Amino acid sequence: MSLWPKSYYLWRETTSLFLSNNMKKLFLILSALTLFPSLSWADPILRTVRTDEDSVGHGTLRLLLQSACDDDGDDDIVFGHTRLNEIRIILDSPLVIPQDCRGLVTITGSSEVETILDGSRLEGPGRIPGQLCLLNVYSNRHKIRNFTFVDSEGSGVCLFGQENEVSKNKFNGNAAVKYPIVVSQVFSRQFPQMNGQGNTVANNTVLGGSEIGLWVDSNENSIKENSVEEAWGVSIHLGGRENDFSGNRVSSGQGTGLELAGASNQVTKNTIKNNRGDGVVITGSGHEFSENEVSANLLNGISIQAHDITLTQNEIVHNGGCPNQNEILESDDGPCFNDFGAGGFGIEVNRGSHDILIGGQNLAFSRNLIQYNLLGGIVVLGGRETNAIQIEQNTISKNYGSAASIDLLEDGITLNDAGDGDEGPNHLLNFVDYVRVVPLIPAPDGQDRYWVWGLSRHGHFLDAYTVDPEDADRLDHGGADEFVDAAEIVHQAFHIDPNDYFTTGDQLTFLVRDNDGNTSEFSSNIEIGPDEDGDGILNRFEDNHDQENGDADGDGLPDSVEDRNLNGRCDAGETCADNADTDRDGLSDFVETHGDGFYNRGFDTNPLNADTDGDGLPDGREDANHNGIWEATLGETSPLSIDSDRDGRSDTHDSCSFIFNPGQEDWYCDTVGA
């Protein structure tokens, strides 16, 4: 059907030369243009579409596209004035800008009405991105603008060439395109110049119905200011290398928001929210992910199984669903998902990941904000193959779940393991062993000044944080609201010089890092306040202790070593600061731990278990002189072995438990065992 009067015609606009009186100059200019045609400043040929039919004929988009590629020079294909409410071209076959296109082509939809490319008649395979494209671009430096692509079982626009631009187009959900925009190097092995590199995809809108809203597997492309909403599967797949992905909005999809693969891609200033899967899944290596908002996604905010990844200045909030089934939290990010039981963390680092930096040493330009996530802030999974997970100078507070801040095993915050060297519950780093916050008296200028010092058998660096007031009453570990200072751990000791970061009533929490970047969970939170004996336990918690004696039970272990969370109570996993022999086995806590207060399996007897080896004999009976040393020559049995003499008879049923006597002959000993 004709859309415009027959007086519309194909015309060429040329640049006029204004004649001067100097004919010699004019002659020289004309001669130069004749000898060097590349110096011509002619504008592109303007070609006007005059029909919405697709059959090869006069004025069709398909014919004008073919003519533009057959001619030398650049071409602009436009749509003129029309009285219709929309221009809909139902394609009989895919449109093609071929590999041998001789000029640069710009195709622009109508500025007056919606210009629709309809793929409802196309038949063929469209099972993967890049198949059955409505518009295939096999050559370089073309532009496609201001179209609406609808109703395709395959792909919308497919860029296989270089330095092309796709901008200000729409891909509607009512008549969906399965894979709206594809930027690919799929043909590069056969045709090296068709590597899908250096293209620009900007200001496009994908709304609903697509399986993958945007697919990129080639290199050095610019993907900016696009909106992809309500995708059925993965909203955006970003592979390839060194792509710039910035300013995009990815929301309300049924699956993962952004699938970040490939290597060394730059992902900045995007909004990824309200997706029913993970907000972002990161694989590959070398990506930089910064200044993004990742919020209100049903599962994890960010899931990582990769290496050499940097995350800085991101806002990762409200992921994992609502904290209570019947409570929908409204925020600037919109309501949280009310699918109780789905759950997710702010950041999940999966097994095998390594060299991951979350935050950094420049607080103003590196801190991530990680808050209000259902299962916790950051969880790190895996064994020895998960290494160099550096978490530094972030705000990780107001999260829910047992992993409210940092959790190294998805089992909740875990006390330091015994006898595991310098590794924590999943072979990562233990947190600081012992911290004291001591008021400086007299304080300069009458202001509060505190000196922080402590011990850490593991790690090389320590970071101190204030605890968010909302977390202070509900968390024993973490709730790190603001990074305040750092210290180096030297000879297992550290200190933070007197400063005005801390005031009475604040709580502090700490983490340690090793030279490989591995980061611990947060330590027990410590409240700042009056502490008469300087043992780290505030006066108000020492009702059961001597407030003026740092070793209330006199066993040789400081109260703050025994009461590790400094709350004035003898909690599970702690020795009692007011009882020299917590397990009442006859050996003091000092003797059982050989003076350091920490139970080392295989070397110490357990101060919380009266019968460490489980042979039925109390530790204090086996170590008869109570000195912490097994002395067989004195007739002692070992409290660390069921069969001290290794003759196959347990100590409780051995006629001579300190001498090898498999036959149990009475003459081996002066006494007979039970």
pLDDT in the model for residue 371? 94
Rounded-to-5 percentages of helix, strand, coil across the chain:
10, 30, 60
pLDDT in the model for residue 413? 60
Residues of the chain short of pLDDT 50, as ranges, are 1-21, 24, 26-27, 29-30, 32-41, 325-326, 328, 331-333, 417-422, 425-426, 667, 671-674
> Which structural domain, as residue segments, surrounds residue 93?
1-209
Residues 6+ apart with CB under 8 A from 279: 256, 257, 258, 272, 273, 294, 295, 297, 299, 300, 301, 302, 316, 319
Q: What is the CATH number of the domain that holds 508?
A: 2.60.40
pLDDT in the model for residue 423? 52
pLDDT in the model for residue 488? 92
Q: Clarify whether residues 444 and 394 are in a common domain.
A: no
Q: Clarify whether residues 163 and 300 are in a common domain.
A: no
Angle among Cα 414, 417, 422 to the nearest 5 degrees reads: 115
pLDDT in the model for residue 219? 97
- How many CB atoms within 10 Å of residue 387? 18
Q: Clarify whether residues 13 and 147 are in a common domain.
A: yes
pTM for the whole thing? 0.77
Tokens of 240: 């390839």
pLDDT in the model for residue 87? 94
Q: Clarify whether residues 393 and 438 are in a common domain.
A: no
pLDDT in the model for residue 673? 40
Cβ neighbourhood burial of 137 (10 Å; 0-12, 13-18, 19+): buried
CA distances from 552 to 527, 548, 557, 570, 607 (A): 20, 9, 9, 13, 17
> What's the CA gap between 550 and 433, in Å, rounded?
17
How many domains would you assign to the chain? 4
pLDDT in the model for residue 414? 59
CA distances from 274 to 26, 256, 318, 336, 383 (A): 65, 10, 10, 8, 32
Say if 590 falls within a structural domain. Answer: no
pLDDT in the model for residue 604? 92
Say if 110 falls within a structural domain. Answer: yes
Q: Clarify whether residues 196 and 53 are in a common domain.
A: yes
Q: Clarify whether residues 102 and 158 are in a common domain.
A: yes
pLDDT in the model for residue 104? 96
Q: Clarify whether residues 90 and 130 are in a common domain.
A: yes
Q: Clarify whether residues 34 and 136 are in a common domain.
A: yes
Q: Clarify whether residues 181 and 33 are in a common domain.
A: yes
Q: Clarify whether residues 266 and 149 are in a common domain.
A: no
Q: Clarify whether residues 377 and 497 are in a common domain.
A: no
Q: Clarify whether residues 492 and 608 are in a common domain.
A: no
